[in-house]
Chains A and B, each alone.
Chain A
């Protein structure tokens, strides 16, 4: 586009025939025509930049919106919800005057291109969302998915991603308390790098992204604006990487965690002095997003002088400044008489802060450059009234065949020796193996409030030192289950995260999700998406846990092949007193092991079917949400009343996986007896949902059994914490089947990941 003369609004009106590169900026023809229709003229270059980036899939949710509405329509009544979907992050009441904000987002595509910076800036972005709500960030979690563990490219992507998450999060002083690491060849060209964060504030400190009050100043503060990540939002997230076309991949943004740490501290200090009317972080779509969202959510308009934006690169064009995704920047709306104090606080923290505009009493967003008006738009049309697509969707033709390929019919181990071998193979497989090589690269102690961190079932943070109030968070998602049945798979993801929170003794309150799928232009993928959203919305309604926000990541595919549909669900819970939390590790020999819930022959999508048979087929485990709720209530009551000393949820890998983890973490063995009515294989390896294994002190057995009996939860005694042959050589023993020493199990379970990646 020509910038001589400057492409002002007047110039655009006078030169209707100038061709603009709308297609190169990712807009479809009809979308461009809609922009022209809204404006009543052709857009200026700057306006086109804004519309293109804000109407991208990543920012506008144009393909997913029609489905996501269900989260609002089916939202359960919840007194806990203070701020719902649509803000930077949802906010939940956790009692005692505290509010907690949390959210999960994706940074998938950038992390494949540039693993370290992609993952690092993913952490940075989610943390700014949390600060923008008025909260002090207190923890992060990272659900990650990579290609096959032994694929050479995984060795490029994974260490970079892990180092990036650690490098950024550790430097910010945020404990990393949870998440997942999953390997599957379906993620080979599309690793999923999701990042979640939690923040804590007092109720009265909640802030929103809106610009109100004519005359109030708009202050841009934080890092200078540079050329990194220009167009990232619209181009990276909208198209697959096509080797044949000339690359238009822009640079992935570069993170500066030190700058972000200063941004956290100076923002919180400004909040504390009540200097801020509205606030928005700059993430995807940079200033285009921040200015249009602030203006459209507020009561007035906004005038911005782009010349005042501090630049890292003085050659940037106004379009580039508007699209830049330079990290560590925020935008605050401040009353004129408080501007000096705000700038003073920024100076104290050596943070650059500049007044770049003000709130007007009109309803237009006007942006000036070199004295000319280069943007004059209704901000709502940019931020909220983008295109909405009802993409066609259809159940794929292969779905029936996939479900008919029943995993329950796979050959099972015929002898005890074979069963033992398969168990050992399973606990050593990359997905089931210990991830401590990864998690030991994250600081989980900083801030001094970490009660539980990975590999516990959920991370737990103390919120109030005097009362012991705390919050717990777990993230889960199983792409294999979801591939077999998207509706059930999404519900199973929620059920598992819900169960994980309850297993530690916390009461599940609310949900955030990160929905990772392939191309919405493929009706089969769109069907998976529609089914998963419907399943998740239905399940949230039934469990009483509203979705407070989240993120959709589409176009996760290589060529025609999409990833497994992978909804990652985060559940936040509250616990009155963190002293009551239940850990995974076995605590004391002699305690009785109880299996809670029903075990059926359910192997579809199981870890066993993958590890032993490299198989994916059949149906995922049956979902029973009422049972999940009952199980959660029992786990929470048992924790509160001191009836259990350890607990572990059962999920992928089944009972034996859970027992081995509890044994290794506690350094104590277990002696198991196969209950009547079950064969050893099903007992150990089935992945039936709605189950947990708990260790009950002998003195509590009667009381615990009475409670389960009275409330109708099946509780089966399956053994004891014990297995000690000699002091140094504890075992996991399955009576009549096999015995494995903790040394053997530790070598299998803990050796795999370092051998592959170190």
Chain B
């Protein structure tokens, strides 16, 4: 695959207790591109994405081997500053999870945590982030309203704006549109096309059509392994592996 590599994963294995959830994962995530992860439930794709910002550390009995090389260092090393890492590699979840605060405070939260106090600067960051998440026009006159009053789709874009506010490099998205209606979903998908110009995006999705629409590369996970990783068009038009073929044509999964 051509293009600059943002994250390089080498021989990654992960266990929850005695259960091996990821098996010898080797994959290179392209910079400024959308990479989709597909596969049946329990195949390891969410576990994998959570490895990229060390969210699995929150689970008891987790153990991993291998390397996740980002900016020249292995982020699995025990001395990695995970707070700093999650500023650079942020996560959007399936269900929008805005804080029970105002729209402005949601977006300003991250910059404040990282020490920015100046109101003008915070406003500039909020506007830039909300614009980046394509929600500015909908909320610019109600920044002090509770974020919980927004629709589901707006809340999800607000969560993306909240990520952008801390200026990450990589956006991880775990089924970001699965709880949204088709219109809200298409807004998120359009947004991904814009965001990839400035960010590297990894998206987990159960919706294969969504993977086909938004991503340039797709990895098919099965039983903790990557069965096939290819350009999205190749994976959906002419998969090389029989199991990928069976999955994308709906014969199992």
- Is chain B a partner of chain A in the same complex? no
